[in-house]
Amino acid sequence: MTVRANTVLLFGATGDLAQRMLLPSLAALHADGLVARDIRIVGTARSGLDDAGYRDFAAAALAKFLPADRQDKAALEAFLGRLSYQPLDATDPAGFAALAAKVGAFEGAVATFLSTAPSLFEPTIAGLGAHGLACGQCRIGLEKPLGSDLASSRAINDAVASVFPESRTFRIDHYLGKETVQNLLALRFGNILFEPLWNAQHIEHVQITVAETVGLEGRVGFYDGAGALRDMVQNHMLQLLALVAMEPPARFDATAIRDEKVKVLRSLRPLTAADSVTGQYVAGAVDGAAVPGYAEELGKPSDTETFVALKAHVDNWRWKGVPFFLRTGKRLPQRRTEIVIQFRAVPHSIFAERGAVAKPNRLIIGIQPDENVGLTVMAKVPGLDREGLRLREVQLDITTPNAFAGARRRIAYERLLLDLIEGDPTLFVRRDEVEAQWSWVDAIRRGWASEGLTPRSYTAGSWGPSAAIGLAERANVSWHD
């Protein structure tokens, strides 16, 4: 039986993620009474703060990043009272004794959230294990990146497994905490309308787009060593693909759902060079403002891709012959994450002789910035039809904030932190999933290297290289822009 943690240990407690997401999420959970009164939060990082200094730091972060409607003075003061802090240099094993003493004041299970540089993972985990912070009910949440390829990912996973068993290892992909992503399961498996049609017989193709308007935004050191394929496709986009393509799980639990996801990831067909396009943005304009090119932001030439488009296939009975088009990039015209399910045309249109065109249905699942589900259906245009019967696409929209006006919208980390505290692994990524993702991505990178492919230029503010359009058009597909 899983025991609720009564101590949350935050590594990287003064970092950007902690300020923007972790502290605001924990404060929101506290304000709504979703974490028990006895839970304490211990932050640790290199900064030489004491408890009072960290509370001041957290207060400033919450004033900046916590939404205005959550700025309740009494609730914030009570939340800050939960916080304590212990400085730590994770490369110095001796420092963990003081951290353990700080945490030791709170008996019970510890939920550790590790948001540090990947180079610190192994010494941090070793320090936790050596000083009693990996007890029988203790668990660890790991923020990406979990390696840069399959070999480095296995090395990290091996280090984690030497201290924390798989059942107490929670690999975080924050996309899985988004409401609309979770709604994929409800949409598919809670409605008889969709699941019988969710296959190659009725679906022509699938598009998954993750578009960003930003450039490097302070991530120079990490991004140039990663690129779009490893930064976005290997984790977020392949998780979305797996949720779209998975078979119905026998039950709603972590094992059943993750078993079905990993089957999809292992069924991905190896990509050829002709099935991928890479790009790198040059100077242009986004939202009417001039922006520099990638090399200018970086300060040197680079072959790192900031855009990638892929034509993938899941080789199993359900999806045989259905292309999955994946597209992600920086400095694109819009910030948008969406999934498009393009259904096939009706096999015979009874309206053709009357001059009417029946277009195929399309399901659009918006994930960010707007959470919505839209379905295009054909409807007759009102009129007497003396000049011919006319059909028109009509959009049936479910906008999440409107459909659930009485429910509080929560950011992904609120759900994920609460699940980590309570020990529910359903929305976290299992080791075999991560390694299946890396195996597929590594093969793509080897193909690029063997073909000598380098990124094509695209103007910032455009939808990527023109070759990405050609990738889709060769399959008689147009990107949903």
Query: Does domain 176-415+431-474 correspond to CATH entry 3.30.420.40?
Result: no
Using 50, 70 and 90 to split pLDDT, how confident is the model at 456? very high
Name the more confident of 351 and 224: 224
**Are the beta carbons of 136 and 108 closer than 8 angstroms?**
no
Which entry of 236, 313, 348, 480 is annotated as an active-site residue? 236
CB atoms within 10 A of CB 480: 16
pTM for the structure as a whole:
0.92
Is pLDDT above 60 for 171?
yes
Using 50, 70 and 90 to split pLDDT, how confident is the model at 387? low
In 3D space, the residue among 231, 50, 18 whose CA is nearest the CA of residue 144 turns out to be 231
Q: What is the pLDDT of residues 45-79, one digit of tens each?
A: 999 899 999 999 999 999 999 988 888 889 999 99
Looking at residue 393, its pLDDT comes to: 77
Is 73 annotated as contributing to ligand binding? Answer: no
Q: 476: which 2 tokens? A: 């008689």
Q: Which residues contact 269 (CB under 8 A, 6 or more apart)?
A: 312, 313, 314, 315
Q: 451: which 2 tokens? A: 């073909």
- 7-143: which CATH topology? Rossmann fold (3.40.50)
Is pLDDT above 80 for 283?
yes
In 3D space, the residue among 3, 5, 85 whose CA is nearest the CA of residue 38 turns out to be 5
Segments making up each domain of the chain, as ranges: 7-143, 176-415+431-474
Is 174 annotated as contributing to ligand binding? Answer: yes
Average pLDDT, the chain: 90
Name the more confident of 21 and 410: 21
Q: Which residues contact 282 (CB under 8 A, 6 or more apart)?
A: 293, 294, 295, 457, 458, 459, 460
Q: What is the pLDDT of residues 232-273, one digit of tens each?
A: 999 999 999 999 999 999 999 999 999 999 999 999 999 988
Using 50, 70 and 90 to split pLDDT, how confident is the model at 288? confident
Is pLDDT above 60 for 106?
no
Is pLDDT above 70 for 405?
no
Determine whether 236 is an active site residue: yes
Is pLDDT above 70 for 470?
yes
Using 50, 70 and 90 to split pLDDT, how confident is the model at 457? very high
Is 131 annotated as contributing to ligand binding? Answer: no
Percent of the chain whose pLDDT exceeds 70 = 94
3-state secondary structure of 135: coil
The mean per-residue pLDDT over the stretch 126-153 comes to 90
Is 46 annotated as contributing to ligand binding? Answer: yes
CA distance 352 to 378: 13
Is pLDDT above 60 for 403?
no
Q: What are all long-range contacts of 287-292, with beta carbons under 8 Å and residues at least 24 apart?
A: 287/213, 291/215, 291/331, 291/460, 291/461, 292/215
CA distance 152 to 442: 11
Q: 314: which 2 tokens? A: 């899941």
Q: What is the pLDDT of residues 173-201, one digit of tens each?
A: 988 888 888 888 988 999 998 999 999 99
Is 330 annotated as contributing to ligand binding? Answer: yes
